[in-house]
Structure formats: structure tokens, C-alpha cells
Amino acid sequence: MKTTVTEIAPDTYRISTFSEPYGMQFNQFLIKDAEPFLMHTGMRAIFPAVKDAVRSVLDPATVRWIGWSHFEADECGSLNEWLAVAPRAQAVCNLVGALVNINDFTGRESRVLADDEILSLGRHRLRFLSTPHVPHAWDAGLFFDETEKTLLCSDLFFHAGDPEPLTETDIVGRAKAAMVANRTGPFANDMPYTPYTRATIERLAALDPKTLALMHGSSFHGNGRKAILELAGVIDEVLGA
């Protein structure tokens, strides 16, 4: 596996590990600030590589906050390893995530964030958005950096392969191709379609992000609002049929 580090927005670093067995990238995002924030930990197997990548930006022991979208190995599998390395670090998630998974998983209390609550890192302000079942699971939530208008959007816009770190071209087409391909096979039905899906995604579009930080695939810089609304149409078409 290879791991790369790319600054995709001011003080925001994309740490990407390509896994040939999975045929996709697993991406974490590190926001460098007075209280550094790590979005996604990756699986335990890639923890050493991710830690070394973080070290190229800042001392891993100084990581203060660790967030993710939903309880899944690639989202928070090495959370306990990070909590051991960074003594002041604390997991941040919603109440469902804390009570159902994380407090028991870590053996300690998480910082519970309410919907729309702001987490201040120093210069950066992260808004937490509770997004049940978008992209997956009832504990799902996303973070929006209001300072640089970066949406840490987890599995939304998923596309496989080992593409470029950051693109300003179409990612909706890539996401649609992946969504259509995943209608069958082991990853079928990975994203539920509910009566709240469209409204949740439109709420994300209203944030008018400039950068979309994807867990799997290239991050995107450009008209995030337009891209998210186009993705909503694809989800209606492919999953809502």
C-alpha cells in the first residue's frame, strides 16, 4: 500500500492510502490548528502508515479531536490506537454513536455533539450535522469547516480506483458510475434510500461548500452546492427507482 499527503485546502490535509485488494483509496483528513482534528482513522491495519503521514504535518500526540461519519472499520477502526498515541484526544460524535457504539468501544466518554453544534479548533470552526442514514447507518453525521467551506462528506461521491488527490472536474459522473456498478454484488444496497434522503442532501448543498473531502476517491474543489444537488438527482434516479 502507498500513502500520500496532499493539502486540499488551507491547513486541511488529505491522507490517502490505496489498497489494491479493495481497489480503492481510504482517505483521512487532518485539520492543522490549535486543536488538531482528524476525520476518519482508517482501519487498524493502516494505522502505522496514517500515523507516519500525520507526523509529516504535525506531532501525532497533539491530535485533539477525532471524528468520523458512522461506526465502521474504515471510519474509526483504529480509534483506540489513536487515543493511546494522543493523550489529549477525544472522540466526537452524536448521542446515538456515543451510546450505541463508541463509549463501549473505547471504554471512555466521547464528546457528544448536537446537530448544528460548533466545534472550535482555533482558527477553524467545524459545524456538526447529524445525517441519519446519509451516507450509512442511524448514527451518521458529517462535519463542515465553516472557515474554509470544506465539507468532510465521508462516503458521499464514492468512486473506486486510485485517482488524483484533488480535482476540479466532474465527480458526479464518477459517483454515478460507482453507484450503478454497486447495485449488485457484495456492496449492493450500501446506501439506504429513505423519505429523508433528499432533504438531508439538500441541507448539505445549502452549506455551499467550496471543497468536498471524500473518504474514497478524489476530493473536489469548485461549486460544491451544484455537485451535491446533481448527486441528489443521481441518488433519486438510481436508488429511488
- The total number of structural domains in the chain stands at 1
- Distance (Å, whole) CA 89 – CA 135: 25
We report the CATH number of the domain holding residue 67 as: 3.60.15.10
Q: What confidence tens digit (pLDDT) does each residue in 29-41 have?
A: 999 999 999 999 9
- 57: helix, coil or strand? coil
70-127, pLDDT tens digit by residue? 999 999 999 999 999 999 999 999 999 999 999 999 999 999 999 999 999 999 999 9
Contacts of 137 by beta carbon, 8 Å cutoff, 6+ apart: 70, 71, 72
| pLDDT value, residue 241 | 67
Burial code (b: 16+ CB inside 10 Å, e: under 16) for 149-166 equals: ebbbbbbbbbbbeebebb
Domain span at residue 70 reads 2-238
What pLDDT sits at residue 189?
Answer: 72
Regarding pTM above 0.95, the answer is yes
Q: What is the pLDDT of residues 189-205, one digit of tens each?
A: 778 899 999 999 999 99
The answer to whether 161 and 216 are in contact (CB under 8 A) is: no
Please tell me the distance from the alpha carbon of residue 126 to that of residue 210, in angstroms, as a whole number: 15
CA distance linking residue 208 with residue 148, whole number of Å: 11
pLDDT, tens digit (0-9, with 9 covering 90-100), for 106-122: 999 999 999 999 999 99
Cα–Cα distance, 109 to 86 (Å, whole number): 15
